[in-house]
Amino acid sequence: MAPFFIDPDIRKAHTLPSNFYTDPAFFELSKERIFARTWQFVAGPELCETLTPVTLLPGMLDEPLLVSSRDGDVRCLSNVCTHRGKVLVENACEANLIRCGYHGRRFSLDGKFLSMPEFEDVNNFPTADDDLKHVPMAECSGFCFASIDPAAPFDDFLGKAADLFDEFEPKNLKLTATKEYEVDAHWALYCENYLEGFHIPYVHKSLNEVVDYGSYTTETFRFSSLQTALSEPGTTVTGFREFPASKNPVATAPGSDKIVAARYLFLFPNLMFNFYPWGISVNVVEPISPSKTRVRFLTYVSDESKLDSGAGADLHGVEMEDEAVVESVQKGIRSRFYSHGRYSPKREQGTHHFHRLIAEYLVD
Ligand code: FES
Ligand SMILES: [Fe+2]
């Protein structure tokens, strides 16, 4: 049964009701219904050791995984010993096999059970249950994703947005900074704020000076959405080549003096890839509780000379402005006088699309 209904017609639709954000039961339900069935960020092109332990979505899924890579063969395995459940690899390392530090069980790099001391008399042993489970994994321009139980293949999640990554060679993307923010708000409030440029003139005064609000567009795909911000004439030093899937008429208009200042790609439910002339800023939204969210910012630079100009120049300042408004909404949605709202058909297609997906995933 569907706990929520979001009308497909944005003109008739109401936003998600406030109990989605305030009732801890929906937060719990989202773990298996939403997060375990979607693709989660594992690592970027910086991954280099043979064995790298990764906790998938700490605080939400908390799933210990192991990325095993050898000669370009990358796999994602369960990082839990099939004997009594110890986590196998605690730190990234070079190795030829995986050995459990508790009772010595050994596995090959592709997760096959190899040997176990003192188990000679055990009946019907080993079986496939003693191998490490393989976890579905996908890769795009050096970015790795995993999913516990994907509702659809990764390529469907990315859809046409895959073209965006073609502009970047993984070897040219250098992870130059990581930063963590803790926001006192529900994870979905943080995401839905990201999904509309409607608030730019009100919340982001400096950003509003470099992007052209009038031509800002949102395109929605099956599991992702893409916002494109064009520059105000003369405000950015450079742009990108045109994104082939874009339907933005201004960007493609011959002789237009506006160029793409930024593209904001959202992969449902919690991944943001922000494309700037200098590279990609990846934001991973990690729910901690119904009222607390951690957001990791990973900065991948391909052209350092463009770091200080345009829409991607002051990401920290923009983040502070977003956090203040999202934390205010967190307080507001608890009000006895607020239950839900309506959408601007012109400016909130991304938020409407996001709410529709949440409602779809929460179905029994
Ligand atoms: S838990 Fe790994 S060998 Fe016992
Ligand atoms: Fe914002």
Model confidence pLDDT, tens digit, residues 97-132: 999 999 999 999 999 999 999 999 999 999 999 999
Q: Which of 149, 171, 192 marks a domain boundary? A: 149
- In the structure, ligand 2 is a single-atom ion and the residues with CB under 5 Å from it are 322
Q: Is the CB of 105 under 6 A from ligand 1?
A: yes
Q: Is the CB of 82 under 6 A from ligand 1?
A: no
Model confidence pLDDT, tens digit, residues 5-61: 999 999 999 999 999 999 999 999 999 999 999 999 999 988 778 999 999 999 899
Q: Is the CB of 340 under 6 A from ligand 1?
A: no
Query: 193 and 336: one domain?
Result: yes
Q: Is the CB of 100 under 6 A from ligand 1?
A: yes
Cα–Cα distance between 187 and 181 in angstroms, integer?
A: 12
Given this model, what pLDDT does residue 28 score?
A: 97
Q: 146 CA distance to ligand 2 centroid (A)?
A: 28
Nearest ligand 1 atom to the CA of 85 is 1
Classify residue 341: in a domain, yes or no.
Answer: yes
Query: If you take atom 4 of ligand 1, which residue's CA is the nearest one?
Result: 103
Classify residue 47: in a domain, yes or no.
Answer: yes
The CATH number for 175's domain is: 3.90.380.10
Domain count, the chain: 2
Cβ distance 76 to 137 under 8 Å? yes
Query: 352 and 208: one domain?
Result: yes
Query: 214 and 129: one domain?
Result: no
Q: What are phi and psi of 76, to 5 degrees?
A: -120, 125
Classify residue 311: in a domain, yes or no.
Answer: yes
Query: If you take atom 1 of ligand 1, which residue's CA is the nearest one?
Result: 84
Q: Which ligand minimizes its atom distance to the CA of 117?
A: 1
Q: 82 CA distance to ligand 1 centroid (A)?
A: 7
Given this model, what pLDDT does residue 251 score?
A: 53
Query: 169 and 313: one domain?
Result: yes
- Read off the tokens for 354: 């996001």
Q: 97 CA distance to ligand 1 centroid (A)?
A: 15
The CATH number for 91's domain is: 2.102.10.10
Given this model, what pLDDT does residue 237 score?
A: 41
Classify residue 12: in a domain, yes or no.
Answer: no
Q: Which of 149, 183, 213 marks a domain boundary? A: 149
Query: 122 and 49: one domain?
Result: yes
Query: 184 and 289: one domain?
Result: yes
Query: 120 and 164: one domain?
Result: no
Query: 145 and 182: one domain?
Result: no
Q: 115 CA distance to ligand 1 centroid (A)?
A: 11
Classify residue 28: in a domain, yes or no.
Answer: no
Query: 56 and 172: one domain?
Result: no
Cα–Cα distance between 335 and 330 in angstroms, integer?
A: 10
Model confidence pLDDT, tens digit, residues 151-166: 999 999 998 888 888 8
Q: Which ligand minimizes its atom distance to the CA of 87?
A: 1
Query: 111 and 182: one domain?
Result: no
Classify residue 155: in a domain, yes or no.
Answer: no
Model confidence pLDDT, tens digit, residues 183-239: 999 999 999 999 999 999 999 998 898 888 888 999 999 999 999 988 876 554 444
Query: 349 and 305: one domain?
Result: yes
pTM of the model: 0.92
Q: Is the CB of 43 under 6 A from ligand 1?
A: no
Q: Is the CB of 102 under 6 A from ligand 1?
A: yes
Q: 131 CA distance to ligand 2 centroid (A)?
A: 46
Query: 172 and 293: one domain?
Result: yes
Decide which of 221 and 244 is more confident.
Answer: 221
Q: Is the CB of 296 under 6 A from ligand 1?
A: no
Classify residue 2: in a domain, yes or no.
Answer: no
State CA 352 to chain mean position distance: 18
Q: Which of 149, 173, 203 marks a domain boundary? A: 149
Residue 255 pLDDT grade (very low, low, confident, very high; cuts 50, 70, 90): low
User: What is the residue range of 236's domain?
Assistant: 160-361
Q: 2 CA distance to ligand 2 centroid (A)?
A: 30
Q: Given 3-state DSSP classes, what are the helix, strand and coil percentages for the chain, each rounded to the nearest 5?
A: 25, 30, 45
- With a CB cutoff of 8 Å and minimum separation 6, the contacts of 32 are none
Classify residue 4: in a domain, yes or no.
Answer: no
Given this model, what pLDDT does residue 249 score?
A: 47
Q: Which ligand minimizes its atom distance to the CA of 206?
A: 2
Given this model, what pLDDT does residue 230 score?
A: 85
Share of the chain above pLDDT 90, in %: 73
Instruction: Flag whether pLDDT at 138 surpasses 70.
Output: yes
Query: If you take atom 3 of ligand 1, which residue's CA is the nearest one?
Result: 103
Return the DSSP state at 38: S
Cβ distance 65 to 42 under 8 Å? yes
Cα–Cα distance between 138 and 118 in angstroms, integer?
A: 38
Q: 5 CA distance to ligand 2 centroid (A)?
A: 26
Dump the DSSP string for 226-241: EEEEEBPTTS-S---P
| Pairing, β 51-56 against β 63-70 | antiparallel
Model confidence pLDDT, tens digit, residues 212-226: 888 899 999 999 999
